[in-house]
Amino acid sequence: MVKDCTTESDFQQVLEASKTKAVFLFKHSTTCPISRGAWETFTDFAAQERRPDYWRVLARENKELAETIAVSTDIRHETPQVILFYEGKAVWKCSHRSITGENLSRQLNRLGI
């Protein structure tokens, strides 16, 4: 299940959860066809891979939060974008057409999860 991250408090929950398990955060633009395709890939992966937690930020609807995440992670904001959090910090990111199940799985394996 993918949870919606709509507040800074939600983002703090992402960081807190990532201290004990991997957490993927998907930044989504509801008006972009590339983001729509990446979202389908992300949700398909989430339905099959149970190890991490999954969160989504609707970037247009939550612009300030999307910018807060960019500043706090030192990762330039893009949509679509996936950020992997582990041990309380951002450890990997990808965007656009590099959001694939293979890439997401590879990162979990790299972390030994």
pLDDT tens readout for residues 19-57 = 999 999 999 999 999 999 999 999 999 999 999 999 999
We report the CATH number of the domain holding residue 104 as 3.40.30.10
Q: Which amino acid is at 72?
A: S
This model's pTM is above 0.75: yes
Domain of 48 in residue numbering reads as: 2-110
The rounded distance, in Å, linking the Cα atoms of 59 and 106 is 26
Any idea what DSSP says for residue 4? E
Query: In which element (H, E) is residue 86 found?
Result: strand 81-86
Structurally, how many domains does the chain consist of? Answer: 1
The rounded distance, in Å, linking the Cα atoms of 80 and 77 is 9
